[in-house]
Amino acid sequence: MQMHPVVKDLIELHQLGLVKEEHRATNLSERVEHLNESMATLLGRLPADIEFLYRKMSDKGLSAVAPISNGICSGCGLNLPLSLIQAVRAEKDLHQCHNCARVLYYPEELPKRKKEPGRRVEQLQQRQSGMARFSSESLMIPGLRATDRDGVIREFAQKMAAEGLVDDAAKLAEQSLRREALATTAVENTLAFPHVRNVEGGGIAFALGTSRKGVKFGAPGRKLTRIVFFTVIPTVANAVYLQLLSGLTKTFSEAATREKILAADSPKKLWAALSRATKAVIR
């Protein structure tokens, strides 16, 4: 069954708003104007009352749309009556949460953390400082095998699944590629930050991969990308992710730092180089 067109537009508006925040965190202000144009087009298609709701919620830094998760509105936590859940799932009309007024929708199934993570992932989750809050040596990939963007994303997704961070590599890769279709996550200085939001369970976690040769990732000026951070992000961690993104972008603006990362030829060396490079900006 097709999703209601107004819900689709609201979801895309929310996603483009997140992309704008990412661009600001990575100092890509020149891309924001294009996003504003796309968002204005979507806003123009909304019914007047829904546009008013979107602007009101946006002014508060909130989303005007919320998925139903385990029978509750994920926006405010209200337990929803079964009749409303069934009506939302039918997708014939728009339905709003009686508490927060967000437009509700029934989401497709997204990747989840494995219920019984491996020992290395448990250790990762227990660490509390610096890069160890978000990654580990087991998530380092010096010398990515893939030679194009889609292949790199699939390689990362398989790594995440193998290390017990998600339950479905194919689904994770699909969601990441959908995000890339909105706007590339490649930025200046041969960096790229592909990611998937709303991964259930756990906190932010990323894998780091390098490619001396470089891959085509959609970077400005068609430059090749050589350092890639692939991140899974739970729903509640948007602000933390933006801080992490800003810190990593700042760290790797220095050519000497990038060279040290690219020179690392084993997971152990890559993890050590990353930890040293980010010690001052990621606490």
> Domain containing 97 — which CATH number?
1.10.287.1490
Are both 34 and 91 inside the same structural domain?
yes
Distance of CA 194 to the CA centre of its chain: 7
**Residue 63's pLDDT band (cuts 50, 70, 90):** very high
User: Quick check: is 74 in a domain?
Assistant: yes
Over 143-201, what HEC string results?
CCCCCEHHHHHHHHHHHHHHCCCCCCHHHHHHHHHHHHHHCCCECCCCEECCEEECCEC
Checking DSSP bridges between strand 72-73 and strand 195-197, what pairing results, if any?
unpaired
Are both 260 and 132 inside the same structural domain?
yes
User: Quick check: is 206 in a domain?
Assistant: yes
How does pLDDT run across 239-264, given as a tens digit for each residue? 899 999 999 999 999 999 999 999 99
Give me 271's structure tokens: 């993890």
> 245 by DSSP, 3-state: which?
helix
Q: Does residue 234 have a pLDDT over 90?
A: no
Give the H or E element holding residue 105: strand 103-105
Are both 231 and 269 inside the same structural domain?
yes
Higher confidence at residue 130 or residue 80?
Answer: 80
**What are all long-range contacts of 70-74, with beta carbons under 8 Å and residues at least 24 apart?**
73/97, 73/99, 73/100, 73/102, 73/104, 74/235
Are both 27 and 147 inside the same structural domain?
no
Give the pLDDT score at 128. 63
CA-nearest of 66, 16, 18, 70 to 38 is: 16
Give the pLDDT score at 228. 98
Give the pLDDT score at 250. 92
Range 3-22 average pLDDT? 93
- Residue 145 backbone dihedrals phi, psi, to 5 degrees: -75, -35
Give the pLDDT score at 88. 94
- The percent helix, strand, coil of the chain (3-state, each to 5) is 50, 15, 35
Are both 186 and 126 inside the same structural domain?
yes
CA-nearest of 274, 117, 269 to 201 is: 117
User: Quick check: is 19 in a domain?
Assistant: yes
Are both 143 and 85 inside the same structural domain?
no
Are both 134 and 97 inside the same structural domain?
no
User: Quick check: is 113 in a domain?
Assistant: no
> Domain containing 195 — which CATH number?
3.40.930.10
Q: Structural domain of residue 69, as residue ranges?
A: 5-105
Are both 128 and 251 inside the same structural domain?
yes
Q: Does residue 274 have a pLDDT over 70?
A: yes
| Contacts for 212 with CB less than 8 Å, ≥ 6 apart | 143, 226, 262
Q: Distance of CA 134 to CAs 114, 204, 225, Å?
A: 17, 6, 22
Give the pLDDT score at 126. 52
Give the H or E element holding residue 205: strand 205-215
Angstrom distance (rounded) from CA 125 to CA 169: 20
Give me 75's structure tokens: 């926006």
Q: How many domains, the chain?
A: 2
**Residue 122's pLDDT band (cuts 50, 70, 90):** very low
Cα angle 117-243-7, degrees, rounded to a multiple of 5: 75
- Residue 193 backbone dihedrals phi, psi, to 5 degrees: -130, 60
User: Quick check: is 166 in a domain?
Assistant: yes
Least confident of 100-109, 119-128, 132-141: 119-128
Q: Is 41 exposed, middle or buried (0-12, 13-18, 19+ CB in 10 A)?
A: exposed
Range 87-98 average pLDDT? 93
Are both 146 and 87 inside the same structural domain?
no
Q: Across all residues in the chain, what is the average pLDDT?
A: 90
User: Quick check: is 192 in a domain?
Assistant: yes
Do residues 161 and 168 touch, judged by C-beta distance below 8 A? yes
How does pLDDT run across 21-49, given as a tens digit for each residue? 998 888 777 778 888 999 999 999 999 99
Are both 12 and 89 inside the same structural domain?
yes
> 83 by DSSP, 3-state: which?
helix
Residue that terminates a domain, selected from 76, 105, 134:
105
Are both 51 and 20 inside the same structural domain?
yes
Residue that terminates a domain, selected from 105, 140, 158:
105
Do residues 139 and 162 touch, judged by C-beta distance below 8 A? no
User: Quick check: is 225 in a domain?
Assistant: yes
User: Quick check: is 114 in a domain?
Assistant: no
Q: Does residue 115 have a pLDDT over 60?
A: no
**Residue 69's pLDDT band (cuts 50, 70, 90):** confident
Do residues 222 and 155 touch, judged by C-beta distance below 8 A? no
Are both 149 and 20 inside the same structural domain?
no
Whole-model pTM: value is: 0.88
Q: Does residue 66 have a pLDDT over 90?
A: yes
Residue that terminates a domain, selected from 71, 105, 139:
105
